[in-house]
Amino acid sequence: MPIRADRKALYPANWREISNRIRFERAGGRCEGCGRHHGELVEGYRPGRITRVVLTTAHRNHDPRDNSEANLAAWCQRCHLAHDLVEHLAQRRRTLRRRAAAGDLFTGPYD
| DSSP code at position 104 | H
Residue 72 and residue 18 in contact, taking contact as beta carbons nearer than 8 Å: yes
Tell me the per-residue pLDDT of 28-63, one tens digit each, with 9 for 90 and over: 999 999 999 999 999 887 888 999 999 999 999 999
If you count DSSP H runs as helices and E runs as strands, how many of each does the chain have, helices first?
Answer: 3, 4
Mean pLDDT calculated for residue range 86-101: 86
**Local structure of residue 26 (DSSP, 8 states):** I
Among 39-43, 87-91, 98-102, which stretch is predicted with the lowest mean pLDDT? 98-102
Helix (H) or strand (E) holding 50: strand 50-52
